[in-house]
Amino acid sequence: MQNPIDFTGRVVLVTGGGKGVGRGISERFMAAGADVAICGRTPPDILPAADGREAFFSACDVRKYEQLEALIEAVITRFGRLDVLVNNAGGAPYADAATASHRFHESIIALNLTSALHAAQLANRVMQTQDSGGSIINIASVSTIRPSPGTAAYGAAKAGLVNLGHSLAVEWGPRVRINAIIAGLVETEQSHLHYGDAAGVAAVGQTIPLGRMAVPEDIGDACLFLASPLASYISGTSIAVHGGGEKPAFLQAANTGGPA
């Protein structure tokens, strides 16, 4: 039986693929044999690599439609096809929703929702012409399914991203599949900005049923599955990759002697 996770000869574009979660996704696809293109506003210090091959980098601010057009054109010019798009670029700093400016909110929604719609639209135009079609994976967040205080616009945008995939899967099937990953807390090179030192990261990990935060490669593995033939009948849905979620606060607050 042919290895269903062999991506040799397939081309994958990961937005924001040079660092953090995006880098883990890029390196997982490269290790599986794919040709990987990444984008960002500036190139990473070290390109994602595997088996002596490096990712192809193209500068792009995903909030700018014209730059997204140029990105897709650059990928097609270099590789001749596009099999998988991973809409990973996103994020948001902490901001109080009551006092943040309207421009701030618009920027966060543009980065986390509108840019993914535009990238998917451009990728779909290519994928619809290919006999093998294509797969689009949107990286969402647990902020999709729980309150997101301090990042309200981000949570709303990520929730919209999941719903967007439901609709596009209907419009663009059967040739193109669209799914989302609801990513939990992920330990990256910037974790200290949110959780403090190693002890803080470990303490946060203990609030998760599986006992640790995710690493970028965990999200990459889920992407490999969704883009592979193993998921050929999966479209228009989301998969939560969050280690079991978060332990309900009431269990500790009640102090009943039950599980913490």
Domain-by-domain residue ranges, the chain?
A: 11-243
Strands 238-241 and 56-59: what pairing? unpaired
Considering 65, 94, 154, 233, which one is annotated as catalytic?
154
The CATH number corresponding to 11-243 among 3.40.50.2300, 3.40.50.720, 3.30.530.20, 3.40.50.410 equals: 3.40.50.720
Give the C-alpha separation, 148 to 83, whole Å: 33
Full-model pTM: 0.93
In the three-class reduction of DSSP (H, G, I as helix; E, B as strand; rest coil), residue 104 is classed as helix
Angle at Cα 140 formed by Cα 126 and Cα 12, nearest 5°?
Answer: 30
Q: What is the DSSP letter of 112?
A: I
Q: Report pLDDT for 246.
A: 84
Is 154 noted as a catalytic residue in this protein?
yes
pLDDT beneath 70, residues of the chain: 1, 190-194, 255-260
**Token reading at 21:** 């979660």
Q: Report pLDDT for 255.
A: 61
Q: Report pLDDT for 48.
A: 95
